[in-house]
Structure 1
Amino acid sequence: MAINFIPTIGQKDGSAVLTDLTKVLRDGSVYPQEADIIIYTGWPQVKDYDGRTHSSDLTAFGTDYGIKLVKISLSSNFSEVRRDAQSILQAAATTDALLSKSLKLKRRRKLIFDVVPIIYAPNLDGGHFKDEEVEFASNEAELIRLLKRTDESLTTEQRDEVQAIIEGAKALGQITEVDDDETLQPIARAYRNLEAIIYNFDASQRSVALTAIKGPQRIRGLAGTGKTVILAMKAALAHIENPNAKILITYYTRSLRDIIERLITRFHRHFAEVDPNWENVHVRHGWGRANVPGVYRDACIRDGIAFKSFGDVKHMRDPFGTVCSELIKNGPPSAYYDVILVDEGQDFPDSFYQMCFFLAKGTRDEKQIIWAYDELQNIFDVKVREPEQLFGKDDDGVPRISLTRSLPLGTDTNDFVLQRAYRNQRDILVLAHSIGFGVYGQPVQMLENAKHWEDVGYDVVSGDFTTGSLNIVERPMVNSPSALATPKDVRLIDIRGATDMSNEVELASREIRQFIEGGIQPHEILVISLDDKSARGYFSALSTSMLEFGVPCNNIINDPYSEPPFRIDGKITLSTVFRAKGNEAAVVIILGADAAVLQTRTGRNKIFVAFTRTKGWLRVFGVENRTFTALCSEVRIALSKSPRIEFNMPDMTNLSTIQRGLEDKHARIVEAKRRVERMKSELGLTDDEIADLLEED
């Protein structure tokens, strides 16, 4: 039997009745062995028209059982139980309305199964409770009977649809509106189908977003594994749970604000049907400017301290780290936020984390600080900095934050590793890693061992990863499940040389026009210049060419002193690598690839970041020179070996080692999950069959 248990962000502490009930449902004795059940605690959470929040203490959903929402009322007072019954009825009605928006789940204009509200009141005499709309249970046996009541059987597609709606994934489908006309061009149709896969992100990612942990959490994964989406969902759910709480979500790349706000809005509307209150949900750049809010700037203003801009400290070795350190030394900033979520955590200095520690309310191990760390994407540092380093030590010499120390009893982990990359096509991600490490040219960096390759979603085919050994790793489809059915005459990846800059812009313009004529919207195209010095020249020439075609461009480097939206409908986005980080597009066009410095980590990491911005197609252009010829050669070799990467392990004393950074317990959990997923894939086993194997003596 497969029972998936998700203790969500809305779960309330201290209910022994809920704890005991959850144990009973999870021990395998309630439902038949073949049943497929999901148990949520504290979910769903919804709002009524008056803005009041209603939630289910326990929700059970099964392929053959419909959806049962349970409110536990321990009162012996009839009117109080009646109030709880009306609350669970409201939660059920809103859930029913959400599900009814999907035609896949309806027959004759009605849902094909029931959303059943249940009031469980063990301290009330059931003989006095009469309500035809709410089921009543006064003891555990009656409740179990109601939960086991069968309903219309669902297909796998219908089951997945219900889960995606309940967990909020369907909200993402509203971000990009695509015409459903049957006359869509093949390119546009291929991309529309791809987005349907990407936006219905998998259950393990949604579980991370929903799961409640009282205390700090770290979320790690490659580009495109959904970290930003997860943080935005956590922010929206925390706001629904407590509209008066102060919630901060912060980021490093200035152009990320727009997409984060849109994600939070989508999730909040999905469950609460209204926009968030931005007075209490702050989407802030880490630093800020004189006219732009930021975490550091806001903290200075609240505490009456003079704010320092980049211009004030640009001569320093670490400008942002310096201003954060000074703020802490001058007297730690006052606690202000109930929840702090940090995106692009790999780019922030240690002192920024220490500032966030003081800004977060609560005791040391209960501070709700959640940071997402992008594996392999930090352009400045290869070392995975552990929490003890990031947050520093308290006055008593003890680390302020320790994931091991703060892990609640009964919780598997608070250090989540996301292995499935949904943004990038498998061949593009394998190519990006190959070029980023330099395995087919001049290696400049490397993962430290086989386990680290597995952490980021590869299977080790052969090799012992000792110096000089031949090693082969392969990226399985299960960890790169987004497959773009590109038309046969449209290459997924193409790299072409030009005679000069003018010819390069001409080639790029021609490619962009073909994609637009194929149905791709201008705002779904991103142009990145790898040549920072020539970026303005590239973008000026390209903008002129595109205007002749009738398509304007959104050149986000035109105003370096503000936070312009990264994507504007109807406009092609023009960006440098640094501004593009954290963003994505259907098509990525790279200019100035001949300027990449292949002998340095910074040069290769810029290529890696640029390549991994695309959800679909990749086009690379550069003026033909020695560097561009070498890059073309590496690309051809990588594509010929994809989805494998083959390399001789370099001498790690001569180059940068990207550290794994997993504590032993968490590493064992990650390894166990990876092996189970691989066993399911190789042997074609279901979750039920895996569970049966584990239960055998």
Structure 2
Amino acid sequence: MNERLNITRGVNKKPVATDALEQSLESLRGIQGEVFTGYPLIATPDGKYSIDAALVSPSKGIVLFDLIEGPDVGEYEERQDDLANKIEARLKLHRELVKGRQLLVPLSVISFAPGINNVAALAVDNYPLVNEHGLAAALNELNWTDGSDDLYRMTLSAIESLSSIRKSRSKREVYREDSRGSKLKRLEDSIATLDHRQNKAVIETVDGVQRIRGLAGSGKTIVLALKAAYLHTQYPDWRIAVTFHTRSLKGQFRRLINNFCIEQSGEEPDWTKIRVINAWGAPGGDARDGIYYEYCRATGTDFFDFRSASSRFGGSERAFDGACQAALANASDAAHIYDVILADEAQDFAPSFLRLCYSMLKPPKRLVYAYDELQNLSGTSLPPPEEIFGNDKTGRPLVTFGDDRRRDVILQKCYRNSRPVLVSAHGLGFGIYRDAPQGAPTGLVQMFDYPALWEEIGYKVKHGQLAKGQHTVLERTTETSPKFLEEHSDISDLVQFIKFDDEEQQNAWLVQQIQHNLTEDELRHDDIIVIHSDPRTARGSTGPIRKKLFEAGVQTHLAGVDTDADVFFRTDTPSVTFTGIYRAKGNEAGMVYVINAQDCNGSGPGLASLRNRLFTAITRSKAWVRVIGYGPQMQELIDEFSALTKRDFVLDFTYPDDALLSKLRIVHRDLSPQERQRLERRKSQLADLLGDLESGELHPEDLDEVTREKLRRFLGGNE
């Protein structure tokens, strides 16, 4: 283990003493552990209580610091007693840290006063008071002799713990040890403690722009929500906005922020200062407000709604980007409305929206944006910050991260999906085991432009070489995919691909399964999500299933259609969520059913985005996933999945070189509806031409020489 201290820098009101303490601790040798400044916060009957600094060490136990700015020590003994009592009371809530009535971890308090030279003259017996010169000696006196690695980890977890935050939406009633409900409860309890990297991302805030990257399920949404709440409790006067792409995340953000504020400060958040707000927005009061609409209001520029933006800027795909660009072009940079903006799901926004957020911030422009490298699977989700935010008048980039790990945080651990679930999603999303179509050099559907990205998201090379044109075998490690996520059930129960004869048979099976989940498995209605991958037909296709469930006494809703656009899980009544793929983003449940999955397969243009839908749907699952469908295209998906399970969930493939990468981008590219129509028209014209040639109505000689030569060259020279 590294003989050094790892410092997580939070916020407190004592900057000078905090800096001096950090420098003193960094110069110490032979001591290891974790240091937090401005954390933890504790709710007490007298309101929130923020600890100046804390050290958790396997050799010292817990050391709390009472920091003194300036020359006045005040009633420092009283402060030390108060500090020790409050933390002890909080730690005793963690049963694993207590034996009888005794805390198993030594708890000490040191007052640190760097502004006082002659501390000895002011010190009281048994109440250590030191400056930089006496800190090492005071720490040397402390020894935790009967600690263990396990106990240290549990202590650290309790200090870092934001315990109730990740617990489920409502209390879980389970009666059988081995039921799915029981397994899910244990899973949720295990995940309830944030890992250290997440905790650092919550507490450390930089003046300027910060980026948080990670896989689906690595906790980005939770980190952003807790970060917003932490800043709100520390700076109650700041105006903070939290924004996102998927409207159904609104409830989740409000719940997380509310819980954190109550747990850490004993008070509800002031919702006039901290706003959970849509990205686009429209006139119609606070509930409909949005960042872009607010910007237009503040700067007096024209506001475009979705319909007018679509017709003005060339279709629905370009609508929001066009609207944001137009607003930025027509406004002076005077909309300093917020102190902090936190944007989730940034991969779904055009860079122009992030620029718009940036221009709405007061200096020093605290913008935190989180995104999933992989929600688009193309691996080109967002350009670097230098490109997004542009240059200042002298030509220097306004935003650059350099090697500052606090500005560019990568969350590698995936807490939502077990290894088999996540690797299945990647395997099918990329088409790793897809058979190469006739004449094609590979079955791959898409691939990252940068091989190293695989390692950044937590894969490790098992064999071969991770480089373009090379054969490689990739696996996930227990470090990045914790083992407990897959040990609760048999591996074959975690992910299943099932084929039916037709849609009716699929639907009948699904109705039966959902009833079983609710009556026998001890799952709740909100533990189940049914995802339909095609947003255009989701309503029609799910209708018959929902009707059958209704007749069987099971309440369901179609997210955003039967509910308000901001609602995903209903809280007013037990109801199973049915959803199209786009509304499913950012949400999760224990049991996920992906229906009509054959629609995510095919060939040619658009296949990459169909596979992305499958990837997103599978990664919604916290425990079990069932991918179901019918027909030959479903069978192909099952064959790919079988190849993956035979290799025990490793990804074994030859990395495409640059030429093949660009070919994949062309072959499986996305087409707009207009382009698709044109392609279909051309294909039918070509089919007519070939039919005429075959039937003899048209002879090759009837075509002019140039056309004949072109045809020959294309058909002969191209695979």
For the superposition of Structure 1 and Structure 2, which TM-score range results when normalised by the shorter chain? Answer: 0.7 to 0.9
Query: Does 2:636 align with 1:636?
Result: no
Instruction: Show the counterpart of 1:147.
Output: 139
| 2:535 aligned to which of 516, 527, 532 | 532
Instruction: Show the counterpart of 2:525.
Output: 522
Change (3 A) 1:486 1:44: closer
Query: Does 2:418 align with 1:422?
Result: no
| 2:373 aligned to which of 366, 375, 378 | 375
Instruction: Show the counterpart of 2:65.
Output: 70
Change (3 A) 1:557 1:174: closer
Where 1:655 maps in the other structure, the secondary structure is: helix
Given that 2:560 and 2:566 are in contact with CA atoms closer than 8 Å, whether structure 1 keeps it comes out as no
State how far apart, in whole Å, the 2-side matches of 1:169 and 1:52 are. Answer: 15
Given that 2:161 and 2:194 are in contact with CA atoms closer than 8 Å, whether structure 1 keeps it comes out as no
Instruction: Show the counterpart of 1:544.
Output: 547
Given that 1:453 and 1:460 are in contact with CA atoms closer than 8 Å, whether structure 2 keeps it comes out as no
The two structures have a TM-score, normalised by structure 1, of 0.84
Aligned-pair CA distance for 1:238: 0.7
State how far apart, in whole Å, the 1-side matches of 2:491 and 2:337 are. Answer: 56
Instruction: Show the counterpart of 1:445.
Output: 446
Change (3 A) 1:289 1:627: farther
Where 1:495 maps in the other structure, the secondary structure is: strand
Cα deviation per residue 1:395-421 (whole Å; 9 max; x = unaligned)? 4433222222xx7xxx55521222221
Given that 1:187 and 1:520 are in contact with CA atoms closer than 8 Å, whether structure 2 keeps it comes out as yes
Where 2:74 maps in the other structure, the secondary structure is: helix
| 2:496 aligned to which of 483, 494, 516 | 494
After TM superposition, the structure 1 stretch with the greater mean CA deviation from structure 2, 115-124 or 315-324, is 115-124
Instruction: Show the counterpart of 2:717.
Output: none
Cα deviation per residue 1:585-605 (whole Å; 9 max; x = unaligned)? 101001111222443211110
Given that 2:461 and 2:475 are in contact with CA atoms closer than 8 Å, whether structure 1 keeps it comes out as yes
Instruction: Show the counterpart of 2:577.
Output: 573
Change (3 A) 1:620 1:505: same
Instruction: Show the counterpart of 1:627.
Output: 633
State how far apart, in whole Å, the 1-side matches of 2:549 and 2:265 are. Answer: 41
Aligned-pair CA distance for 1:448: 2.9
State how far apart, in whole Å, the 1-side matches of 2:564 and 2:171 are. Answer: 33
State how far apart, in whole Å, the 2-side matches of 1:82 and 1:114 are. Answer: 26
Given that 1:9 and 1:237 are in contact with CA atoms closer than 8 Å, whether structure 2 keeps it comes out as no
State how far apart, in whole Å, the 2-side matches of 1:334 and 1:86 are. Answer: 47
**1:304-383 alignment runs, 5 A limit:** 304-315=300-311, 316-317=313-314, 318-331=318-331, 332=333, 334-362=335-363, 366-378=364-376, 382-383=380-381
Cα deviation per residue 1:290-340 (whole Å; 9 max; x = unaligned)? 331211122233445553221221223311112211221221351121111
Instruction: Show the counterpart of 1:275.
Output: 268
| 2:235 aligned to which of 215, 237, 242 | 242
Instruction: Show the counterpart of 1:98.
Output: 90
State how far apart, in whole Å, the 2-side matches of 1:502 and 1:313 are. Answer: 40
Change (3 A) 1:55 1:84: farther
State how far apart, in whole Å, the 2-side matches of 1:611 and 1:312 are. Answer: 35
Query: Does 2:25 align with 1:45?
Result: no
Cα deviation per residue 1:23-67 (whole Å; 9 max; x = unaligned)? 443344364xxxx522222322345555465331x3112234332
State how far apart, in whole Å, the 1-side matches of 2:554 and 2:145 are. Answer: 51
The two structures have a TM-score, normalised by structure 2, of 0.82
After TM superposition, the structure 1 stretch with the greater mean CA deviation from structure 2, 341-350 or 567-576, is 567-576
| 2:510 aligned to which of 503, 508, 511 | 508
Change (3 A) 1:551 1:346: same
Greater relative contact order, per chain length (Cα 8 Å cut-off, separation 6+)? 1
**1:55-204 alignment runs, 5 A limit:** 55-56=51-52, 58-77=53-72, 81-82=73-74, 91-122=83-114, 123=116, 135-140=127-132, 142-148=134-140, 149-151=142-144, 153-177=146-170, 179=172, 183-204=176-197
Given that 1:191 and 1:616 are in contact with CA atoms closer than 8 Å, whether structure 2 keeps it comes out as yes
State how far apart, in whole Å, the 2-side matches of 1:314 and 1:341 are. Answer: 26
After TM superposition, the structure 1 stretch with the greater mean CA deviation from structure 2, 176-185 or 475-484, is 176-185
State how far apart, in whole Å, the 2-side matches of 1:468 and 1:114 are. Answer: 56
Query: Does 2:590 align with 1:586?
Result: yes
Instruction: Show the counterpart of 1:645.
Output: 651
Structure 2: tracts of 5 or more residues without a match: 435-442, 667-719
Amino acid at match of 1:330: N
Given that 1:219 and 1:227 are in contact with CA atoms closer than 8 Å, whether structure 2 keeps it comes out as yes
Aligned-pair CA distance for 1:214: 2.7
Where 1:484 maps in the other structure, the secondary structure is: helix
Change (3 A) 1:466 1:70: closer
Instruction: Show the counterpart of 1:654.
Output: 663
Change (3 A) 1:71 1:435: same
Aligned-pair CA distance for 1:223: 0.9
Where 1:477 maps in the other structure, the secondary structure is: coil
After TM superposition, the structure 1 stretch with the greater mean CA deviation from structure 2, 595-604 or 422-431, is 595-604
State how far apart, in whole Å, the 1-side matches of 2:644 and 2:222 are. Answer: 30
Aligned-pair CA distance for 1:580: 0.6
State how far apart, in whole Å, the 2-side matches of 1:610 and 1:458 are. Answer: 21
Query: Does 2:289 align with 1:290?
Result: no
- Percentage identity across paired residues of the two chains: 28
Given that 1:449 and 1:465 are in contact with CA atoms closer than 8 Å, whether structure 2 keeps it comes out as no
Instruction: Show the counterpart of 1:678.
Output: none
Amino acid at match of 1:103: R
Aligned length: 638
Query: Does 2:210 align with 1:217?
Result: yes
State how far apart, in whole Å, the 1-side matches of 2:599 and 2:377 are. Answer: 16
Given that 2:213 and 2:372 are in contact with CA atoms closer than 8 Å, whether structure 1 keeps it comes out as yes
Given that 1:73 and 1:84 are in contact with CA atoms closer than 8 Å, whether structure 2 keeps it comes out as no
Aligned-pair CA distance for 1:608: 0.5
State how far apart, in whole Å, the 1-side matches of 2:467 and 2:265 are. Answer: 54
Where 2:530 maps in the other structure, the secondary structure is: strand
Amino acid at match of 2:583: R
Change (3 A) 1:206 1:567: farther
Change (3 A) 1:542 1:151: same
| 2:609 aligned to which of 596, 602, 613 | 602
Given that 2:3 and 2:29 are in contact with CA atoms closer than 8 Å, whether structure 1 keeps it comes out as no
Where 1:341 maps in the other structure, the secondary structure is: strand
CA RMSD of aligned residues (A): 2.9
Aligned-pair CA distance for 1:383: 4.5
Amino acid at match of 2:638: C
State how far apart, in whole Å, the 1-side matches of 2:319 and 2:367 are. Answer: 24
Aligned-pair CA distance for 1:288: 1.8
Change (3 A) 1:243 1:252: same
Aligned-pair CA distance for 1:583: 0.9
Change (3 A) 1:85 1:343: farther
Query: Does 2:389 align with 1:391?
Result: yes
Instruction: Show the counterpart of 1:673.
Output: none
State how far apart, in whole Å, the 2-side matches of 1:654 and 1:325 are. Answer: 31
Instruction: Show the counterpart of 2:681.
Output: none
Given that 1:245 and 1:280 are in contact with CA atoms closer than 8 Å, whether structure 2 keeps it comes out as yes
Given that 2:241 and 2:277 are in contact with CA atoms closer than 8 Å, whether structure 1 keeps it comes out as yes
Where 1:533 maps in the other structure, the secondary structure is: coil
Aligned-pair CA distance for 1:467: 6.1
Given that 1:9 and 1:213 are in contact with CA atoms closer than 8 Å, whether structure 2 keeps it comes out as no
Amino acid at match of 1:329: A
Aligned-pair CA distance for 1:487: 4.4
Structure 1: tracts of 5 or more residues without a match: 658-697
Instruction: Show the counterpart of 2:685.
Output: none
State how far apart, in whole Å, the 1-side matches of 2:181 and 2:420 are. Answer: 20
Given that 1:10 and 1:45 are in contact with CA atoms closer than 8 Å, whether structure 2 keeps it comes out as no
